[in-house]
Amino acid sequence: MHIEVTFKNMEPSDALRGYVTKRLSKIGRFIDRPVDARVVLSVEKIRHRADVSLNADGIMINAVEVTEDLYSAIDMVMDKIERQVKRYKEKIQVRKSPAGLKKLAGREAETEQGPRRSRIVREDYFIKPMNLEEATGQIELSERDFIIFMNTETNRVTLIYKRDDGDLGLIEPVV
């Protein structure tokens, strides 16, 4: 596993670098492929931000966490990454076994809880260039219900989203 730790608006610390490396090595045991990890630790006033991006043979897993303590931000972001990696591994296993499809369908039925109240939460979203196949892989790994990306095949901003029926929807603007 290749780990790159970057510090923004703060002095580099071997203790933080070691802590990040230790936490990422635990996640590395879930992934069979070679992994490149980029970790950006930054401080803005009282906001401590940990941003982690894993690239495992073309599969991107990203997570960001902001807290008042950098160590807790690292812990929380690593927990998010671990959940995403486990979800990815589970989906790969489900694809390989027909019995897994039944198991996954039963689990989804148990977790349905009725309608959710909507609220608007503003988030910054960075658009990355990728093709449709890469975007499909990303949304399957992501906790999000959608991904906005620059389609490298059409050179247009494109949205792919998870539909209620389990399929994926694709929205491309027509100009």
Name the pLDDT band for 95 (thresholds 50, 70, 90). Answer: low
Give the bridge partners for 168, in sequence order. Answer: 162
Q: Which of 151, 146, 138 is nearest to 169 (CA)?
A: 146
**CATH ID of 1-98, from 3.30.160.100, 3.80.10.10, 3.30.70.240, 3.30.530.20:** 3.30.160.100
- Compute the half-sphere exposure of residue 121: CA atoms within 13 Å on the CB side of its CA: 5
Give residue-wise pLDDT tens across range 118-160: 777 777 677 888 998 888 888 888 777 888 899 999 888 999 9
How far apart CA 44 and CA 59 sit, in angstroms, is 30
Average pLDDT rounded to a whole number, residues 58-84: 88
Question: 108 versus 11: which is more confidently predicted?
Answer: 11
Average pLDDT rounded to a whole number, residues 105-123: 60
* pLDDT above 60 (res 9): yes
Which amino acid, residue 106?
A: G
Per-residue pLDDT, 106? 54
Separation of CA 116 from chain center: 23
* pLDDT above 80 (res 101): no
Q: Where do the domains of the chain lie?
A: 1-98, 123-175
To which H or E segment does residue 133 belong?
helix 132-141
Average pLDDT rounded to a whole number, residues 102-119: 56
Q: Is 158 left (phi over 0), alpha (psi -120 to 50) or beta?
A: beta
In the DSSP assignment, the letter for residue 115 is P
Give residue-wise pLDDT tens across range 149-166: 999 998 889 999 988 888
Q: Tell me what the pLDDT averaged over the chain comes to.
A: 81
**CATH ID of 123-175, from 3.30.505.50, 1.10.1200.30, 3.40.1180.10, 3.40.50.300:** 3.30.505.50
